[in-house]
Amino acid sequence: MLRGFYTAASGMITQQRHQEALGNNMANMNTPGYKADQATIRSFPEMLLQAQGKKQLPVNRNANLRINETIGSMNTGVYVQEFVPDFAQGDIQETTISTDLAITQGEVPDETGGIFFRVQNEAGEERLTRNGNFTVDGNGFLVTNQGYYVLNSAGAPIETGGRDFTVTNAGLLQMDTETIQLGLAYTADVNELTKEGDNLYNGEAGAMPADARFAVQQGFLEGSNVDGATTMTDQLNAYRMFELNQRVLRAYDESLGKTVSEIGRLG
């Protein structure tokens, strides 16, 4: 019976974590470049149950033979193994704001490859993002909404000096007579990236392959790829599964309480 407690409790914890991920997706439905998290739910390893006994042999010395009879397998519950971002491209939306940039990704050399903007976090470390909702700070540097520097191809912050600029499809930022290559990074497997806060990703990325097909669009933003209707349906299903496990747990609790009280009366 106690095993049933643990199995039902693990189901409740799993659905709670799943619900938290879905809630975070809904909260970021309007965040540019946000990639929805998908929960990977797995069951714990099954346990093989066997009954151990003895069989008396028909000999004069009453010898016994140990036997193991297989009863069957027992599942011990489920857990959330990990949260995997869905890197499908979101809808491209026009904003007409010159500092907004969007990457429209076409064919890439690797099926799981991805193209990102290079930015510098508050610790001075390079990170990747698909959120092109940039602005120019008081010192004339191109930054994210969180104040992180947007980097050029050499890994240095891009300084605009407050001047107007245009960005070509190839990612060339042009100001007067100066041209700066926007820092764009390519990773062969987006599933190897680690998701961090502020829409940033950490992982290995290199230079853009020559055969990669992409375009940088100025005055546009890539929207979140969260599907609101699907997410709400998943939230409802997760809630129902949580309730179901809760009822099972309550039934075990009532049964155990009844057993204890009746044994107590017999004593």
Nearest alpha-carbon partner for 223 in 135, 94, 91, 102? 91
Beta bridge partners of 142: 136
Residue 138 and residue 157 in contact, taking contact as beta carbons nearer than 8 Å? no
The pLDDT value given to residue 98: 94
Q: Roughly what angle, to the nearest 10 degrees, separates helices 228-266 and 2-27?
A: 160
Domain ranges of the chain: 2-83+242-266, 92-222
Tokens of 99: 């500092």
pLDDT category at 48 given cuts 50, 70, 90 is low
Distance of CA 47 to the CA centre of its chain: 30
Q: What is the mean pLDDT of residues 141-164?
A: 94
Mean pLDDT value of segment 51-60: 66
Mean pLDDT score of the chain? 87
Tell me: pLDDT of 114 over 70. yes
pLDDT of 167 higher than 80: yes
208-211: which pairs have CB atoms within 8 A and are 24 or more residues apart?
208/115, 208/184, 209/108, 209/109, 211/107, 211/109
- Does the pLDDT at position 138 exceed 80? yes
Pairing state between β 194-195 and 178-181 = unpaired
> What confidence score (pLDDT) does residue 257 get?
76
Torsion over CA: 16, 18, 24, 27 (sign): negative
Contact 109, 209 (CB under 8 A): yes
The predicted pLDDT at position 183 comes to 94
Consecutive H or E run containing 73: strand 64-74
DSSP code at position 192: G
Name the burial class of residue 195, with classes exposed (0-12), middle (13-18) and buried (19+) by CB atoms within 10 angstroms of its CB: middle
| Strands annotated E in 132-230 | 134-136, 142-144, 149-150, 166-167, 172-175, 178-181, 184-187, 194-195, 201-202, 214-218, 220-222
What does the pLDDT read at residue 177? 85
pLDDT value for 40: 87
